[in-house]
Amino acid sequence: MKILRTPDERFENIKGYPFEPHYTTIKTHDHSDLRIHHIDEGPKDGPVLLAMHGQPVWSYLYSKMIPHLAAGGIRVIAPDLPGYGKSDKPASREDYSYQHQVDWMTQWLKQNNFKDLSFFGQDWGGLIGLRMITEEPDRFLKISIGNSGLPYNPNVSQEILEKVKLFREDKRKLTLFSVAKQLRKMGREHSTKSNFHPALKFMYWQKFCWETVNLPIGVLCSFQMEKRSRRVDAAHYLLQRMGLEKVSPFSSDIIRAYEAPFPDPSYKMGPRAMPSHVPILPDASLEAQKSARAFFKTSDKPFLSVFAGDDPVTNGIESDVLRMAPNAKSAPHIGGGHFYQWNRSEELSKILINFIKKKDATETP
C-alpha cells in the first residue's frame, strides 16, 4: 500500500491548535505501517471523552471545544482518522472502506489501551465510533452522537437503485454550488415527503467528492463555519479550480487549517472516497451494520442523542438513532449546522460535560 505523510511544516502557524501531537503506528490489512495521530488534552485524572470527527475535517474541529471541556474537568482524546489531519493518508481509492476505518481505529484504540471512555462522534466519527464500541464494549462507559447515525437499509427499491446507478454514470460534472443547492433541498424533503429516500440527494455529494480531484475542503468548511461573504468564498473556490489557490487573496484561517493536511490533491483520497461508503444503500457493510444495531438495541450503556437540529444532511436521522437505541435520551437541539462543534462549541461542551458527570444532559445548557 502506498501511504502519504503530510510534512509537519504544513501545520505550523495553524491558528488555535497548540496541542502536542501523539502518534500510534498500526498495521493495515496488507501489513503496511499506518501512523495515526491524536491529541490528548485536559486534566489527566479527569473522566475521558473520546471525540471523533468526520469527513472532510480533522481534530482541529474540536479545538474550540477543548478549552470548555478541560475547564469542566474533562480529558479529551481526539484522533485524526486515516486520510485526514496529521494521520497518514493511504493513496488509493481501494484502500478506503468503512470496514477498514473501523479495523484501523479499533487497533488504535486497543494499542493505546484507552478505557473507561465516554464517546462522542459526529458524521463519520459516529459511523466508525459506534462500530468500534461494538468491537470493544468494555472500554466504553457512555455513548453520545450527533449529526450522525448507524445507517441500515436492507430494502431499497430497484427504482431507487437504478436512479442512483444512472446518476453516478452520468458524465455531467457537478460544482460546489449545484451540490449545495441539492443538500439544502435534502433537509426540506426529509420533513415533507414520506417516501423520500436520502440516497437520491446524498448521491450528489458522493459524486461531487469522488469526481473532484482537488476537493475544495477549505472552502466547504468556510461555508459552514465562518461568517463572511459567499462571494469571497466563491472567488477562492474559482481560483482553486484554476490551480491558483496558493496565491489567492481570499483565503482565511479556516481555509488554511482545513487545507493544511493536503499538500496537493493526491493527499485527498480519503475525503474523496469515504462518502461513497456511507451505507445508505445495501452494500458490503450490511451484516456488520445489522449486528451493531442489534447491540445498541439491547445495550444498557447511557446513550445521548445530541443533534444540531438544523443540519440538512442529518435532520432525518435522529429518529432512527432513537429507534436503534431504546434507552437513548434526546438532548435539546442547539443549532449550529453540520459542524456544530465549531459553531456551538460552548453549548455542546456543556451538554457533554453534564452527560459525562451524570447530570441530566437533556436540560438546556
Active site (annotated) includes residue 170: no
SS3 readout for 301-343: CCEEECCCCCCCCCCCCHHHHHHHCCCCEECCCCCCCCCHHHH
CA pair distance 287, 293, nearest whole angstrom: 10
**Annotated catalytic residue, options 80, 88, 95, 311:** 311
C-alpha distance from residue 188 to each of 54, 69, 98, 182, 295 (Å): 23, 33, 28, 10, 32
Neighbouring-strand partners of residue 24: 36
CA pair distance 339, 345, nearest whole angstrom: 10
Active site (annotated) includes residue 311: yes
**Annotated catalytic residue, options 53, 123, 233, 277:** 123
CB 262 within 8 A of CB 11: no
Neighbouring-strand partners of residue 330: 305
Neighbouring-strand partners of residue 48: 75, 117
CA pair distance 76, 70, nearest whole angstrom: 7
CB 203 within 8 A of CB 167: yes
**Helices and strands, number each (H, E), in the chain:** 14, 10
Amino acid at the residue 162: E
Handedness of CA 276, 282, 288, 290 (dihedral sign): positive
Active site (annotated) includes residue 338: yes
**Annotated catalytic residue, options 37, 53, 277, 338:** 338
Q: How many of the other CB atoms lie within 10 Å of CB of 302?
A: 17
CA pair distance 209, 217, nearest whole angstrom: 10
Catalytic residues, by residue number, are 123, 311, 338
